[in-house]
Structure 1
Amino acid sequence: MIQIKDIIRELELLAPPSYQESYDNAGLLVGSHETSVTGALLSLDVTEEIVEEAIQKNCNLIVAHHPIVFKGLKKLNGKNYVERTVIKAIKNDIAIYAIHTNLDHVATGVNWEIANRLGLKNIKVLAPKKQLLMKLTFFAPTESTQAILDILFAAGAGKIGKYENCSFRTEGTGTFLPGESANPTIGQDGRLEEVHEHRCEVMFPSHLTNDIVTALLKSHPYEEVAYYLTALENENQEVGAGAVGELSEALPVEKFLELLKVSMNVTLVKYTESANKMIRRIAVCGGAGSFLLPDAIRNKADAFVTADYKYHEFFDAENKIMICDIGHYESEVFTKNLLHNYLSGKFPNFALCLSDVNTNPVRYFV
């Protein structure tokens, strides 16, 4: 029987929790990791109506993009929709898991999905995040080096952008004197040994630290392994906010807006005038993305597709770029489809349900 922890394990391989913003509250918000799952309802938001839908569809797990609990709850009196939703979920033994800014930040997440829907090519992260990479340096006998590296690569080390199995090694002489209680792989007690060794270095995402160190210690032939870890300031080109890419061919503004409406299934686009009469390079950010405008301009985007722009923020375009606000819900509602496609590949014989409820609190009179 599939348990909640099994679903979470796969979700966190897709979008590691360490990639969420410090203000965020992604993760298991209601329920126990050990609970067996009857079915999972996938949604953008969690509301009382979503919980009722889960009950009707026999789903005791809701996987949502937006966390229902964002700020600390000091009381559960049912005085607002957040408290009422949590109470209803608890009463009906329904777990709630949120996968929010961590899913925004991965190259297979929310922003990549927008870019793919628009048909963009050469997609890359718009604003890569720093301080998410580590470097492992270790020393090993030369004849063991490649076998150790192969195991480290399998554990997730050595990936730099589009390249895999990346490492650096130099050759030198290692010395050691085994003590009386030692059980050396090479050498004898009380005798100074000199061994031809490699000094090896590999990079890896910091959230894999335990896996990488475990892989090293299990694969290394020495009784005591010499290694050290270094935190890096490098940007992780595969993780960060927003995405940017290019259309196959440049489009006039009106044609691009038509493409945007059809691709994102929206009836309304708020946009700014721009000196760029032809649109080809596009920056995108699901949800509220005004903070990425400088990055979009620096990346020479002709248009920036996002949501939640305030009146005065539109002036910041300064005729350098066309800001296109398509609405928060509209920019992220397809996230439930993204999650469905991913989880169905991991659990092909498991009940995964797409929510039918429109949770958009905004209505348009056209």
Structure 2
Amino acid sequence: MPTVQEIEQRLFQLAPRESAMDWDNVGHLLGSPEQEVTRILVALDITEAVADEAIAEGCQLIVAHHPVMNCKWLPVQTIRSDTPQGHLLMKLLTHDICVICMHTNLDAAEGGVNDCLASVLELIDPGPLRGEAGLCRMGNLSAPLMLPDFIRHVSKALNCNGIRYADAGRPVYQVAVGGGACGDFESAAIAAGCDTFITSDLNYHQFLDAAGKGINLIDAGHFPTEDPVCRKLVAYLKAQFSQITVHKSASHREVIQYYVEGE
């Protein structure tokens, strides 16, 4: 059976390590590279529930998007059972579950996070967003839509719990997308002539200033905008390793809930 190291090498063919940002931590992060693999679980994040799911399913490997350790927002200094991250890592190690993470390299990859997002939203002939570092994509709709109609389309396509948006009074036709927290590329979307930008984790002042800048902003959520790539990873791994059972996590889902007064 294929080893973790062999699977990592094949994943780097899809999303080369060199395209990851310099602060990022990608590739095989946990477990033995010589571990033979018969079952893989794919998830956006490795949570306690995902770890329990992998154990119950008899998986030797989890392939995830977000790094489980040594990333800028959650550096590993200790591995202790009385801390959330330490408890998770010890659980994975105790059950001989290896971890491979494909993060910003998968964001930038052809066929990666942002191409999957553009495809799910039915953008025509998407390509790299001009003037940025290769993460985001831009494309057109088959016909212009009013913003409320397009938001309904986005919500349904991404299975969102809720959507935050700012209406600049423009119909939607030329659209930029950035899975996850890509708010820093708003200026690139404007410079490229896009009327609408879909991403997540936008801040108050971006919404406040959107009308004045002439761009519709749609914050569809971090999980919904990135989760479509998990289906791509499942399909890719199945095609590369037909003898391995690969499935997408059933336990990991959007964690943000919305309350709206009057509902």
TM over 0.5: yes
Question: Which of these residues, 321, 332, 353, is aligned with residue 215 of structure 2?
Answer: 321
Q: 2:81 matched to 1:78?
A: yes
| Aligned pairs (5 A) from 1:1-366 | 1-69=1-69, 70=71, 71-127=74-130, 240-276=134-170, 278-317=171-210, 318-366=212-260
Check conservation: 1:45, 1:359, Cα contact below 8 A. Answer: no
State the AA in 2 paired with 1:303.
T
Check conservation: 2:26, 2:100, Cα contact below 8 A. Answer: yes
Q: Is the deviation greater in 262-271 or in 105-114?
A: 262-271
Supply the distance in 1 between the matched residues of 2:56 and 2:122 (Cα, whole angstroms). 37
Q: Is the deviation greater in 344-353 or in 287-296?
A: 344-353
The Cα shift of 1:287 comes to: 0.5
Supply the distance in 2 between the matched residues of 1:20 and 1:336 (Cα, whole angstroms). 18
Check conservation: 1:127, 1:241, Cα contact below 8 A. Answer: no
Report the RMSD for the aligned CA atoms in angstroms: 1.6
Supply the distance in 1 between the matched residues of 2:240 and 2:232 (Cα, whole angstroms). 13
State the AA in 2 paired with 1:94.
I
Check conservation: 2:161, 2:257, Cα contact below 8 A. Answer: no
State the AA in 1 paired with 2:42.
L
Distance 1:96 1:246, change over 3 A: same
Q: Secondary structure at the match of 1:287?
A: coil
Distance 1:129 1:274, change over 3 A: closer
Q: Secondary structure at the match of 1:77?
A: coil
The Cα shift of 1:254 comes to: 1.6
Q: Secondary structure at the match of 1:23?
A: coil
Structure 1 unmatched runs, 5+: 131-239
The Cα shift of 1:334 comes to: 2.1
Deviations 1:286-319 (A, max 9, x none): 0001100011001111110000112122234224
Distance 1:306 1:129, change over 3 A: closer
Check conservation: 2:131, 2:188, Cα contact below 8 A. Answer: no
Deviations 1:317-338 (A, max 9, x none): 2241001001111111222111
* Number of residue pairs matched by the alignment: 256
Bigger helix share: 2
TM-score between the two structures when normalised by the length of structure 1:
0.67
Q: Secondary structure at the match of 1:241?
A: coil
The Cα shift of 1:262 comes to: 1.4
Deviations 1:41-87 (A, max 9, x none): 00010012211110111101000000111243221113332111111
Q: Secondary structure at the match of 2:53?
A: helix
Check conservation: 2:120, 2:228, Cα contact below 8 A. Answer: no
Check conservation: 1:273, 1:319, Cα contact below 8 A. Answer: no
The Cα shift of 1:128 comes to: 6.4
Q: Secondary structure at the match of 1:263?
A: helix
The structure with more radius of gyration: 1
The Cα shift of 1:359 comes to: 4.6
Check conservation: 1:337, 1:354, Cα contact below 8 A. Answer: yes
Supply the distance in 1 between the matched residues of 2:131 and 2:110 (Cα, whole angstroms). 10
Distance 1:349 1:246, change over 3 A: same
The Cα shift of 1:102 comes to: 0.3
Q: Secondary structure at the match of 2:29?
A: strand
State the AA in 1 paired with 2:150.
F
